[in-house]
């Protein structure tokens, strides 16, 4: 059993660590985004904290001399505040993979499974977080690469999922899945989703996959519209290595996507290799965070027709 920090230990760590705050946002110029970030910067100034603005803020009216490149933001920040939706947080999460940097999400999107700081309560909730009163999660991430023969043609990182899917609109593809080099199945389907517990409430959920609690060390493989109805999702332990090979007999080409934001074309014979990234994401939530409440709210459980 690992040592569980006391409240005082968490408080001391927060006060010592979170001194330079990076700010990134959804790169769409909306009045709400601009006004919220101005409130955030005023708040950080009042607390005497240094801050850096990501290059995405150039899209909402901040000048070039006010912003820095994403690499510089990541290199100099202790904590990054993400203003946007889950997609904005996914982008930030991939940027900090392998670094001991925490993320906080301020929700101006729609679903908001990951970004849960309320804009109307941003000062109050950040007060609690900077005082050390927060819930911290370690969210598993994925690492993957596309191999064409002996050559790696692209690699990527994902917090939600790595997806193989057809590029044609109405044709299935044929592909083989292996887990730790053991053959699992040869599928005829529109594709397959390999997801973390975080990604189990994203694309995988719409494909009939199970909801995995974020604390589980697990991966799910969820076929997309399989031709055979017995081709069901499968859950394996998080330390497994997944490989997917597009069969030579497949009559259409395919595409692999990391978090639906980083894509590469796949040809017959190419292989997608996926494994858990060695470093988990540090995701902070305000006090009172309740995973099951988020599920009830976002998935509209317990609502009467």
> What is the pTM assigned to this prediction?
0.90
Q: State residue 8 phi and psi, 5-degree precision.
A: -65, -40
- Share of residues in the chain with pLDDT > 70 (%): 92
250 pLDDT tier (thresholds 50, 70, 90): low
Any idea which residues carry the catalytic annotation? Answer: 86
Please state, in angstroms and rounded to a whole number, the distance separating the CA atoms of residues 185 and 297: 36
Find tokens 């595409």 and name the residue.
255
Please state, in angstroms and rounded to a whole number, the distance separating the CA atoms of residues 124 and 117: 10
Please state, in angstroms and rounded to a whole number, the distance separating the CA atoms of residues 195 and 203: 9
- Tell me, yes or no, if the two domains 7-140+280-298 and 142-276 fold the same way: no
Mean pLDDT estimate for the chain: 91
CATH code of domain 7-140+280-298: 3.40.50.10330
Domain ranges of the chain: 7-140+280-298, 142-276
Check residue 78 and give its pLDDT.
93
Mean pLDDT value across residues 56-60: 93
Check residue 273 and give its pLDDT.
98
CA distances from 13 to 18, 19, 211, 213, 214 (A): 8, 11, 32, 26, 23
For 229-247, the pLDDT digits (tens) are 899 999 999 999 999 999 9
Check residue 233 and give its pLDDT.
97
305 pLDDT tier (thresholds 50, 70, 90): low
For 137-189, the pLDDT digits (tens) are 999 999 999 999 999 999 999 999 999 999 876 788 999 999 999 999 999 99
For the beta carbon of residue 76, count every other beta carbon within 10 angstroms: 12
| Residue 175 · residue 226 · CB < 8 Å | no
- Answer CATH for 142-276 from 3.30.1360.120, 2.60.200.30, 2.40.50.140, 3.40.50.880: 2.60.200.30
- Lowest model confidence (mean pLDDT) among 27-31, 200-204, 240-244, 256-260: 27-31
């Amino acid at each position: 059993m690992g040592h569980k920090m006391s409240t005082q230990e968490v408080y001391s760590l927060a006060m010592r660590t979170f001194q330079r705050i990076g700010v990134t946002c959804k790169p769409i110029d909306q009045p709400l985004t601009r006004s919220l970030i101005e409130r955030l910067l005023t708040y950080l100034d009042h607390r005497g904290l240094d801050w850096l603005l990501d290059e995405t803020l150039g899209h909402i009216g901040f000048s070039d001399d006010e912003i820095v490149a994403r690499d510089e933001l990541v290199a100099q920040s202790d904590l990054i505040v993400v203003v946007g939706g889950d997609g904005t947080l996914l982008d930030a999460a991939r940027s900090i993979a392998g670094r001991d940097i925490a993320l906080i999400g301020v929700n101006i999107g729609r679903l908001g499974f990951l970004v849960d700081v309320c804009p109307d309560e941003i000062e109050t909730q950040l007060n609690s977080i900077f005082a050390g009163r927060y819930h911290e999660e370690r969210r598993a991430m994925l690492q993957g690469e596309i191999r064409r023969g002996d050559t790696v043609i692209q690699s990527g990182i994902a917090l939600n999922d790595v997806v193989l899917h057809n590029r044609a609109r109405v044709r299935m593809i044929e592909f083989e899945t292996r887990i730790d080099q053991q053959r699992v199945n040869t599928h005829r389907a529109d594709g397959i989703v390999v997801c973390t517990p975080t990604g189990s409430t994203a694309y995988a959920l719409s494909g009939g996959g199970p909801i995995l609690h974020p604390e589980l060390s697990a991966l799910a493989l969820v076929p997309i519209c399989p031709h055979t109805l017995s081709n069901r999702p499968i859950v394996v332990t998080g330390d497994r290595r997944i490989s997917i090979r597009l069969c030579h007999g497949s009559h259409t080409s395919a595409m692999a996507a990391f978090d639906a934001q980083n894509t590469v074309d796949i040809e017959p014979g190419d292989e997608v290799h996926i494994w858990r990234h060695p470093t988990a994401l540090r995701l902070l939530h305000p006090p009172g965070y309740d995973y099951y409440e988020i599920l009830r709210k976002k998935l509209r459980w317990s609502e009467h027709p």
